[in-house]
C-alpha cells in the first residue's frame, strides 16, 4: 500500500515525479550503451525517476551553455541540484545524504547564479577558495566568500524542465481570453495543453525568502526539448496573488515509493519571456542501470543539443546588469 505521508528527505523531493507514466517512442535510436553502475539503495522504482534525473542534468547544462555562449554573461551552478555529481545516481544520492547530515538539507537555494563575464576571474577565484563548486551548498550564505558571490550576481535561476516539444503542443501561442474560473482574468480552459512554467507551492515561500534575504533577482527558467521560457519570481507571484493562475493538485511519487499530493502553479508561457531556442536538437539515447538483484531498468536520456538565448532574454539580463 502506498504511503500518503509527505517525504522530508531532500533526495526524495528532488527526484519526485508525477505518479502517471511518461511514455516516449524511440525511432532508430542507434547503438544502445549500457551503464555499469549499480542502482542506489533507495530502489528507484521505474524509468521515470532515472529520466527525471538525467533530464534535469541535461537541461541545466544546456541553459548554462547558452548563457556562456553569449560572451557577455556566464552561469555558475549554485544549488545542490546543480553542484551535485551528475554522472552517477549513487554519488548523487550520497551528496544529498551529506547535505542532510550537515543540517542544510532543508535550505532552498536556486540552481544557478548568472554573472557578468567581466567578473568571471573574481567569481572563479572565490569559488575555488571555498573548496570548489561542489562545496558551495555546505557553506552558510553569511560566510564572507558567499557574500562576494551573491553580491556580484546579476540573477539567480531556479531551473525546471519538461519532456515535451513546446512548439508541437496544441495550445502553443494561443491567445488568452477571460475565464470564469479565474474571476475574469485572461487564461485558457483547464484542458489546454501548452508550455507552462511550473512552480510548486512548497517552493514559493522558501524561494521568496531567499530572494528577499539575499537581494539577488530570482527567475524561473523552464526548459523544453526545443525551447525555454523564463519569468521573474516577483512577476510569477503577482500572477498567483491576482488570480491569473489557479492552483492545481498533482500526485507526486518519490524514489522510495511514497506518494503525496502537492499544489503546483502552471504559469502560461504567454506570461513569460522567451528564453532560448534549440539551434541543435539533442539525441535521444536509450540507456539503463542494473540494481543489486540484477534487474535492468531502461530509460531514455538526452545527449548534446544546443540552446541559444533570444534577444528578449538578453534584454532581461542587460536590464539587471
Which residue do the cell numbers 531502461 mark? 298
What pLDDT shows up at residue 57? 80
Name every residue whose Cβ is closer than 8 Å to that of residue 247 and which is 6 or more positions away in sequence. Answer: 201, 263, 264, 265
Predicted confidence band of residue 232 (pLDDT cuts 50, 70, 90): very high
- List pLDDT tens digits, range 158-190: 999 888 899 999 999 999 999 999 999 999 998
Residue 25 has pLDDT above 60, yes or no: no
* DSSP reduced 3-state for 44: coil
Residue 277 has pLDDT above 90, yes or no: yes
Q: Which of 37, 163, 34, 135 is nearest to 89 (CA)?
A: 37
Amino acid at each position: 500500500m502506498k504511503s500518503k505521508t509527505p517525504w522530508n528527505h531532500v533526495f526524495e523531493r528532488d527526484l519526485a515525479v508525477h505518479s502517471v507514466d511518461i511514455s516516449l517512442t524511440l525511432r532508430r535510436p542507434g547503438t544502445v550503451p549500457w551503464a555499469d553502475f549499480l542502482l542506489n539503495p533507495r530502489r528507484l522504482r521505474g524509468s521515470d525517476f532515472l529520466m527525471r534525473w538525467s533530464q534535469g542534468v541535461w537541461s541545466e547544462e544546456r541553459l548554462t551553455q547558452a548563457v556562456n555562449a553569449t560572451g557577455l554573461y556566464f552561469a555558475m551552478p549554485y544549488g545542490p541540484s546543480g553542484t551535485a555529481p551528475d554522472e552517477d545516481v549513487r554519488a548523487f544520492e550520497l551528496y544529498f545524504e551529506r547535505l542532510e547530515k550537515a543540517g542544510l538539507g532543508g535550505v532552498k537555494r536556486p540552481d544557478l547564479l548568472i554573472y557578468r563575464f567581466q567578473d568571471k576571474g573574481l567569481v572563479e577565484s572565490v569559488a575555488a577558495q571555498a573548496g570548489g563548486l561542489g562545496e558551495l551548498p555546505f557553506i552558510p550564505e553569511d560566510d564572507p566568500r558567499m557574500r562576494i558571490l551573491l553580491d556580484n550576481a546579476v540573477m539567480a535561476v531556479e531551473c525546471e524542465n519538461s519532456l515535451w516539444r513546446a512548439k508541437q503542443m496544441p495550445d502553443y501561442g494561443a491567445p488568452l481570453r477571460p475565464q470564469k474560473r479565474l474571476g475574469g482574468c485572461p487564461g485558457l480552459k483547464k484542458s489546454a495543453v501548452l508550455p507552462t512554467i511550473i512552480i510548486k507551492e512548497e517552493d514559493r515561500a522558501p524561494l521568496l525568502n531567499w530572494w528577499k534575504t539575499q537581494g539577488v533577482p530570482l527567475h524561473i527558467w523552464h526548459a523544453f526539448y526545443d525551447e525555454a521560457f523564463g519569468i521573474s519570481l516577483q512577476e510569477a507571484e503577482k500572477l498567483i496573488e491576482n488570480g491569473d493562475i489557479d492552483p492545481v493538485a498533482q500526485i507526486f511519487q518519490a524514489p522510495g515509493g511514497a506518494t503525496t499530493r502537492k499544489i503546483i502553479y502552471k504559469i502560461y508561457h504567454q506570461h513569460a519571456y522567451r528564453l532560448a531556442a534549440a539551434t541543435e536538437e539533442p539525441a535521444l539515447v536509450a540507456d539503463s542501470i542494473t540494481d543489486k538483484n540484477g534487474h535492468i531498468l531502461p530509460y531514455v536520456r538526452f545527449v548534446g543539443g544546443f540552446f541559444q538565448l533570444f534577444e528578449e532574454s538578453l534584454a532581461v539580463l542587460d536590464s539587471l546588469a
